[in-house]
Amino acid sequence: MKFLDQAKVFVKSGAGGAGCVSFHRAKFIEFGGPDGGDGGRGGDVVIECVEGLNTLIDYRYQQHFKAKIGVHGMGRNRAGARGADAVLKVPAGTQIFDEEGETLIADLTEVGQRVVLFQGGNGGFGNAHFKSATNQAPRHANPGQPAKEAWIILRLKLIADAGLIGMPNAGKSTFLAATTAAKPKIADYPFTTLHPGLGVVRAIGREFVLADIPGLIEGAHDGHGLGDRFLGHVERCRVLLHLVDGTSEHAGKAYKLVRSEIEAYGAGLADKPEIVALSKADALDPETRKDQLAKLKRAAKKTPLVLSAASGEGVETALTELLKIIDAARAAEPKPVSAEAVIEPVETGWRP
């Protein structure tokens, strides 16, 4: 299945049904009076966060979603039926923006959340609604309220506990494959990873989600290489594991390059807890390892880990350090009121 993390779709709520103008007709009843029913309400546009999805690929093939209009009122005081809702199902971590991509309308982070983006129009009153002592035969009814429509942007930001960052060919995909059941593409050329990947790590009897982000190069924030668009997927991570290729010319410069791109991106990524590791240690001789480790330590201003996903060296240590930070972050988060609490639908109040 292909990965798609952004989609632009057109949504439209249902218009309300029109009220009916009708008069009762029956034998032996000379003045039956008005009996026109009210129109039905139009369907809502609802966005629902569901389980089992991790991409927006469905919205590549269908971009228009329209709720049904309400059924018109009928004689004999029969009200019209309500129109069916248009429900867009999205994975956890999906954000909803306006057409310009600047205004955040809603952020769906938990399975079960429902956002009523547009309410359907109310149905119009039939002529039976307007009868009174002074107007016993009204000959008018209300039309239904019009529909609301707009283009919106769905943007997915993966929800993971830890994120892998680094330059292309730093060993991120190899680390993901060695620690999870994920099977990312691994090759000896840059930009092997074109889309973010997720895997579940099982270590020390516990689990956490690890995200692999495509590599960054100099000028990524200006669109060079694959750009920095995929950095949005680590905005929700609790900790970053920064892998620096030990076989590069200068490990310290490689580290600073990626850090500068993260700082240029913003969104609080530069302030996240970071674990620095010198990767591909199995390909280094003792002298080169010592030299690269010293350069990386000076650049990062902390003692880096040494690991090799191919040989398994330092992998357990890295996972243990990640779990320490993840556990601390989880403990600091507010506890839910109840495990069975129902997430109520959210009214956005947004109008195009």
Q: Is 212 known to sit in a ligand binding site?
A: yes
Q: Is 208 known to sit in a ligand binding site?
A: no
Using 50 as the pLDDT threshold, list the residues of the chain that sit under it. 1, 336-344
Range(s) for CATH 3.40.50.300 in the chain? 162-332
The answer to whether the beta carbons of residues 124 and 144 sit under 8 Å apart is yes
Question: In whole angstroms, what is the distance from residue 191 CA to residue 60 CA?
Answer: 24
The answer to whether the beta carbons of residues 92 and 159 sit under 8 Å apart is yes
The one-character DSSP state at 149 is: E
Q: What are phi and psi of 172, to 5 degrees?
A: -65, -45
Range(s) for CATH 2.70.210.12 in the chain? 1-156
Write down the pLDDT at residue 225.
52
Q: Is 215 known to sit in a ligand binding site?
A: yes
Write down the pLDDT at residue 184.
73
SS3 call for 330: helix
CATH topology of domain 162-332: Rossmann fold (3.40.50)
Q: Is 168 known to sit in a ligand binding site?
A: yes
Q: Is 193 known to sit in a ligand binding site?
A: yes
How is residue 32 written in tokens? 């039956």
Write down the pLDDT at residue 335.
58
Write down the pLDDT at residue 162.
93
- Report which secondary-structure segment, H or E, holds 315: helix 315-332
The one-character DSSP state at 20 is: -
Q: Is 89 known to sit in a ligand binding site?
A: no
The answer to whether the beta carbons of residues 322 and 275 sit under 8 Å apart is yes
Q: Is 167 known to sit in a ligand binding site?
A: yes
CATH topology of domain 1-156: Spo0b-associated Gtp-binding Protein; Chain: A, (2.70.210)
Length of the chain: 352
Write down the pLDDT at residue 338.
38
Q: Is 3 exposed, middle or buried (0-12, 13-18, 19+ CB in 10 A)?
A: middle
Write down the pLDDT at residue 351.
64
Q: What are phi and psi of 327, to 5 degrees?
A: -60, -40
Query: What are 293-310's pLDDT values in tens digits?
Result: 999 999 999 999 999 988
Q: Is 243 known to sit in a ligand binding site?
A: no
